[in-house]
Amino acid sequence: RKEVEQDPGPFNVPEGATVAFNCTYSNSASQSFFWYRQDCRKEPKLLMSVYSSGNEDGRFTAQLNRASQYISLLIRDSKLSDSATYLCVVNSGGYQKVTFGTGTKLQVIP
Amino acid sequence: GAGVSQTPSNKVTEKGKYVELRCDPISGHTALYWYRQSLGQGPEFLIYFQGTGAADDSGLPNDRFFAVRPEGSVSTLKIQRTERGDSAVYLCASSLKALAGTNEQFFGPGTRLTVL
């Protein structure tokens, strides 16, 4: 089993739609969780950290379910500019080493 | 301020040659990471430096790969006897020695390595 698993997509959604991505992780000792965004042929950039209580940043909501070992990202009112690959990232050690998922590609269609 | 920079942006080499890829992290960031990303995949961890020392090099695929960070700032990833399978984008990232839960990594634009 991969350490971090994501549905690669692509998810094709119309503007204004709500879309959700899930990511599962195998290491129950993982402590830190993140969503990064990567535009085509660009470097990854932090979108948001994921906290145990769940957190929201504008149209984006991230949640963590430790019992089932998954995290989710919800995007409301999708914009064309949201089109990108969303990478699930999990801390896999006691320090700063993290493991990236393969990414989920989102295409928002006019 | 300046972000993470990487040089060269593109490198084309022949099978069997030696290459060096350079990373200049954000000033003051003590943690530095190298990743390799192939098409359709997420970044794959190679090595992590805390200061000058390699805290974890478990991701280096074999002994043809080596990285240094002699003064705790700039890092060089070195690949000997390159193979076609080494072709990928090599990403460097840096972060502050973070407090718990604040491990944001800032990525450079990457070096696209092509081995012919």
Is the pLDDT at B105 greater than 60, yes or no?
Answer: yes
What pLDDT, on the 0 to 100 scale, is given for residue B82?
98
Of B107, B99, B98, B101, give the one whose Cα is nearest residue B25. B107
β-strand pairing of B65-68 with B53-56: unpaired
Is the pLDDT at B85 greater than 80, yes or no?
Answer: yes
What pLDDT, on the 0 to 100 scale, is given for residue B98?
52
Per-10-residue mean pLDDT, chain A, length 110: 89 97 92 93 94 92 95 97 96 76 96
Q: What is the pLDDT of residues B5-49, one digit of tens each?
A: 999 999 999 999 999 999 999 998 989 999 999 999 999 999 999
Read off the pLDDT band of B67 (50, 70, 90). very high
Say whether residue A40 is in contact with chain B using an 8 A CB cutoff.
Answer: no
CB contact under 8 A, B41 and A102: yes
Say whether residue A23 is in contact with chain B using an 8 A CB cutoff.
Answer: no
What pLDDT, on the 0 to 100 scale, is given for residue B56?
87
Higher pLDDT, B25 or B100: B25
What pLDDT, on the 0 to 100 scale, is given for residue A94?
60
Q: How many CB atoms lie within 10 A of CB A42?
A: 13
Write the residue in A4, A44, A93 that is nearest to B107 by C-beta. A44
Sign of CA dihedral B28, B31, B32, B36: negative
3-state secondary structure of A77: coil
What pLDDT, on the 0 to 100 scale, is given for residue B102?
56
| Chain B residues closer than 8 Å to A102 by CB | 40-42
CA-based max dimension of chain B = 43
CB contact under 8 A, A46 and B104: yes
Say whether residue A43 is in contact with chain B using an 8 A CB cutoff.
Answer: yes
Is the pLDDT at B99 greater than 90, yes or no?
Answer: no
Read off the pLDDT band of B100 (50, 70, 90). very low
Residue B52's contacts (CB-CB under 8 Å, 6 or more residues apart) are: B69, B70, B71, B72
What pLDDT, on the 0 to 100 scale, is given for residue B107?
96
Is the pLDDT at B1 greater than 80, yes or no?
Answer: no
